[in-house]
Structure 1
């Protein structure tokens, strides 16, 4: 695998498949878990290269980890960075096939 393609897989961790992201997919918006260090241009480049589509915009958000308890012992979930990728009209991604 080429170094450029490996870098794309480092930027995009996994697609987010939830009820909310499925509804967003109807409006050409797809949600991905991304690396915490990934920037918007890197995410755009990775999605365009891996899925062969044209990206209109990328919005990112960081979901802060919650403090939880398991069997009485406290722990903290990890922070998760997500990217909402809006595609140009006429382009689609089938995230159920996997990366």
Structure 2
């Protein structure tokens, strides 16, 4: 898998902003088929930082109904990156 297709987009929620300010953890949505080492390597290459730890969250699809139609929601995968102390991403820098 190519390095640019591994990381999709940042997850911008109240809880993720709290993690950035308090713990220095960043949450991104990643490709569902990517593994932990591919995700870590892609993140370090793209943002030029050192990652201390990567945690993965997989969301399975849920059954949904809309009137008489049935289907599934999309499956997704999120990665929470813990950076080494003293490192920050310029993407989230408000100064």
Give TM-score scaled by structure 2 length. 0.84
Match of 2:78 in 1: 82
How many residue pairs get matched? 92
Please identify, of 48-57 and 59-68, the stretch whose mean Cα deviation from structure 2 is larger. Answer: 59-68
Match of 2:18 in 1: 23
Which structure 1 residue ranges, 5 or more long, are not aligned?
Answer: 1-5
**10 and 56 in structure 1: CA distance in 2 versus 1, 3 angstrom threshold:** same
Q: Deviations over 1:10-69 (max 9, x none)?
A: 111111111111111121111111111111111111111111111001011101122223
SS of 2:44's partner is: helix
Alpha-carbon distance in 1 for matches of 2:69, 2:28: 31
Give TM-score scaled by structure 1 length. 0.81
Match of 2:2 in 1: 7
SS of 1:46's partner is: helix
Which structure 2 residue ranges, 5 or more long, are not aligned?
Answer: none
SS of 2:3's partner is: helix
Match of 2:35 in 1: 39
Alpha-carbon distance in 1 for matches of 2:43, 2:28: 10
